[in-house]
């Protein structure tokens, strides 16, 4: 998918806070897993001792990446891959792995993607390197599975009547972006929500892009390639993401009780070091300048031990991965 890139409109969220976390580690390689408009990468590259490896599944950002490649030469490299594939990166002296889980102004303003309520025409919502579009989900997947997507990925109170109405209307016509908004608003009329479509659009975007699987595998693979002492930094924007990241760091940073008569296992090791448990949030000044930043949270942790198998983590969120893997044809 191609999009017109407007660098002036995108503000990297919590940039100063992120720099304060990673700057003590300057003098190595930083992996920017969600390159986007390059805000984090460009800031890191201002320090001449640093190099950046940037990843993004969206090929529309290649133009920006090429400009940085020319400017910084061998200090910058870009890969058009999903961040769950980070294990493909072979590099020494990795200091930090960074994730910004929001989508950029450039993506939301490209109305062909169907990420915005203001979009018109065919539903898409693909962020790049996808198996199917939102249009296929809305037209093919069962009413029961639509309900699950809306309930678990959008925490939508009206998941059942909305999925029922979609199922009824699609028998008569193809549902386009504007039709989906109309359906949602007809079900949720007089409910007082400012943007009644927010949760449904979020749920569909998560399902289309397999964002839960991406995040879970991305975090595990980031841990696996990071040396001890390196840091994983994640910027989340909604409660599902934040819950996953919080559990990932907290579960493996606390010593678990175990009997001295049992063999040593993963539960009595600390694989992460947390220097603060509460997330970092934007200042009122940043929210005023960049309103979409209001829901952003930074969580981070330093790797302190090798060898974690993450079985508890994978088991905890298996139900969400199972929903992401629902068939369109059931």
The residue ranges of every structural domain in the chain are: 7-106+212-309, 117-208
Q: Scanning the structure block, which residue is given the tokens 């940085």?
A: 68
Token pair, residue 147, equals 């309900």
Specify whether the CB–CB gap between 328 and 141 falls below 8 A: yes
Pairing of the two strands 94-100 and 231-236: parallel
pLDDT score for 278? 95
For residue 77, give the H/E element and its range: strand 76-79
pLDDT score for 150? 98
Q: Distance between CA 77 and CA 55 in Å, rounded?
A: 9
Residues in the chain: 330
pTM of the model: 0.91
- Taking only the tens of pLDDT, the chain with its 330 residues reads 333 334 445 679 999 999 999 999 999 999 999 999 999 999 999 999 999 999 999 999 999 999 999 999 999 999 999 999 999 988 889 999 999 998 765 666 666 666 666 778 889 999 999 999 999 999 999 999 999 999 999 999 999 999 999 999 999 999 999 999 999 999 998 766 568 899 999 999 999 999 999 999 999 999 999 999 999 999 999 999 999 999 999 999 987 655 454 455 555 789 999 999 999 999 999 999 988 899 999 999 999 999 999 999 999 999 999 999 999 987
Alpha carbon of residue 192 to chain centroid: 28
Helix, strand, coil fractions of the chain, as percent rounded to 5? 50, 10, 40
Of 307, 233, 212, 209, which Cα lies nearest the Cα of 267? 307
pLDDT score for 10? 61
257: left (phi over 0), alpha (psi -120 to 50) or beta: beta
pLDDT score for 44? 98
Q: Which CATH class is domain 7-106+212-309?
A: alpha beta
pLDDT score for 297? 97
Specify whether the CB–CB gap between 65 and 32 falls below 8 A: no
Query: According to CATH, what is the number of the domain 117-208?
Result: 1.10.150.170
pLDDT score for 8? 43
């Amino acid at each position: 998918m191609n999009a017109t890139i407007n660098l002036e409109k995108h503000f990297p969220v919590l940039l100063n806070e992120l720099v304060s976390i990673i700057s003590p580690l300057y003098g190595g390689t930083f992996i920017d897993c969600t390159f986007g408009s390059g805000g984090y990468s460009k800031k890191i590259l201002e320090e001449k001792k640093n190099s950046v490896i940037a990843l993004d599944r969206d090929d529309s950002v290649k133009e920006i990446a090429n400009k940085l490649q020319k400017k910084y030469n061998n200090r910058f490299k870009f890969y058009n891959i999903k961040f769950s594939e980070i294990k493909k990166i072979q590099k020494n002296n990795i200091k930090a792995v960074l994730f910004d889980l929001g989508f950029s102004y450039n993506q939301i303003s490209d109305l062909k993607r169907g990420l915005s309520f203001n979009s018109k025409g065919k539903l898409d919502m693909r962020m790049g390197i996808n198996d199917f579009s939102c249009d296929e989900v809305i037209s093919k997947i069962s009413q029961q599975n639509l309900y699950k997507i809306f309930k678990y990925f959008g925490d939508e109170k009206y998941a059942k009547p909305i999925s029922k109405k979609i199922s009824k209307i699609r028998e008569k016509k193809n549902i386009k972006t504007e039709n989906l908004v109309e359906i949602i608003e007809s079900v949720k009329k007089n409910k007082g929500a400012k943007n009644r479509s927010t949760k449904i659009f979020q749920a569909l975007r998560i399902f289309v892009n397999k964002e839960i699987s991406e995040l879970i595998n991305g975090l595990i693979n980031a841990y696996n390639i990071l040396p001890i002492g390196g840091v994983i930094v994640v910027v989340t924007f909604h409660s599902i993401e934040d819950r996953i990241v919080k559990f990932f760091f907290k579960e493996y940073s606390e010593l678990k009780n175990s009997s001295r008569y049992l063999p040593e296992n993963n539960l009595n090791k600390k694989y992460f070091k947390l220097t603060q448990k509460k997330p970092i949030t934007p200042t009122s000044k940043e929210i005023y300048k960049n309103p979409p930043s209001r829901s952003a949270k930074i969580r981070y942790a330093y790797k302190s031990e090798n060898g974690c198998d993450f079985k508890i983590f994978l088991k905890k969120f298996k139900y969400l991965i199972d929903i992401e893997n629902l068939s369109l044809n059931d």
